[in-house]
Amino acid sequence: MSENPHAEQLKSAILDRKAVVGVIGLGYVGLPLLHAFIEAGFQTLGYDVDQSKIDKLLAGRSYIKHIDDAWIQQWLAKEKFDATADTKRLAEADAILICVPTPLSVSRDPDLSYVESSARSVAEILRPGQLVVLESTTYPGTTKDVILPILEQSGLKAGSDFFVAYSPEREDPGNIDFSASGIPKVVGGLDAASLMVAETLYAQAVVSTVPVSSCEVAEACKILENTYRSVNIALVNELKLLFSRIGIDVWEVIDAAKTKPFGFQAFYPGPGLGGHCIPIDPFYLSWVARSHEMATRFIELAGEINTSMPQYVIERVAEALNFQTKPVRGSKIGILGVAYKKDVDDPRESPSFKLMELLEARGAKLSYNDPHIPELPAMRHYELPSMKSSDLTESYLRSLDCLLVSTDHSAYDWGFIAEHAPLIVDTRNALKGISSPKIWKA
């Protein structure tokens, strides 16, 4: 048992549900995390720099499609939740969990500006007995080498006055099989006291905790999880190119292979990688490797294959149109789905934007439909014209020269689409089982 009085006091407050849990960053990670702690009986405080988000939450409205308004209204009815854009109010929280974006720069270097800004805000209000946990995905060493020095500018000492830990987020937006409370939580502490209080906190709200020996191990764990996915997706993407050339359906091959009850896990090809994790996280590890004069060849090769997939898809679109004696230039091409995965309203790093950019460069006349994204959002890496989702009607489908399936939302009626679209290029095997010469796989 820790002899640190601050640690024992915080542990007691956590076990008695008297500790206030604060979350910085009220997005796809922060809101489910708040839900888990509120359901566990904790008083919570949400912080975000975006005042419009705060206003919506305090009015009982969600701005993320798969997070129901009822969640927010329930939090407010229980009087277990408050939200603010005032950093000074973070002093009210006994545990502060940082869930902010960690994107890549144009040169694919880590951009920790949101993390550093959050740490500076916490340092300004830091008091003895508080726990600070970073959940944002990052490279090994960030908590100790970046966060800790900023926090200690407060004049307080980590491990004795306050506590620091890292626990990687494991959200899967739109996956109803896994909630934040139902996923085991890896926890690494800066020291024994930090690990003890952080593990005690998460143990109250999640199905189980997985303590590890350091923050660096916890940080590396998250990178491994997403690098594993990136590399295996790259493998099936490359096999898709090969099998397509020799006349084999890669989707049928995967379906056959996954009947093996051991030694194989199914991964699926697509038009490119999307979301905040898989297209980004492995390059954090590559950056660390370069700083240690090493090369991560698997990671770099996987990234090269995955980022080349949109170009392959465009070539398939051009080939399909060519069989109908039409060029890409001037053709009306509809993009079906711009979210990065099915049944969510999250467009982050969606390959659909790259597909649209490439098609526009070739002179295509673009439109799109996505029931979850009514208006095309501005994306910092892509410059596309303002667009609203077209209604998926018979007349709209018939007006197109080609429909490009980028995201296979469950709301789509594939039989209706196959009946009325004159030409379809399917990157998701969404029209599996529908046989037609006008359906091309990509």
CB 414 within 8 A of CB 430: yes
Q: What are phi and psi of 36, to 5 degrees?
A: -60, -45
Considering Cα of 57, then 59, then 62, then 68, what sign does the dihedral take? positive
What is the DSSP pairing of strand 185-189 with strand 163-166?
Answer: antiparallel
Contacts of 403 (CB under 8 A, 6+ apart): 333, 334, 336, 397, 417, 421, 423, 424, 425
CB 167 within 8 A of CB 184: no
pLDDT 10s digits, 57-94: 999 999 998 888 999 999 999 999 999 999 999 999 99
pLDDT of residue 140: 94
pLDDT of residue 158: 97
pLDDT of residue 1: 44
What is the DSSP pairing of strand 95-98 with strand 185-189?
Answer: unpaired
Which positions of the chain have pLDDT values less than 70?
A: 1-2, 106-107, 174-178, 275-279, 380
Domains, the chain: 5-213 (3.40.50.720), 229-441 (3.40.50.720)
pLDDT of residue 385: 87
pLDDT of residue 337: 97
- Distance CA(208)–CA(26), nearest Å, equals 23
What is the DSSP pairing of strand 43-47 with strand 81-84?
Answer: parallel
pLDDT 10s digits, 336-381: 999 999 999 988 889 999 999 999 999 999 999 999 999 998 876 7
pLDDT of residue 52: 96
pLDDT of residue 294: 87
Q: Which of 99, 215, 221, 277 is catalytic?
A: 277
277 is catalytic: yes
Q: What is the DSSP-derived secondary structure letter of residue 50?
A: -
Q: At residue 385, what is the residue type?
A: P
CB 24 within 8 A of CB 178: no
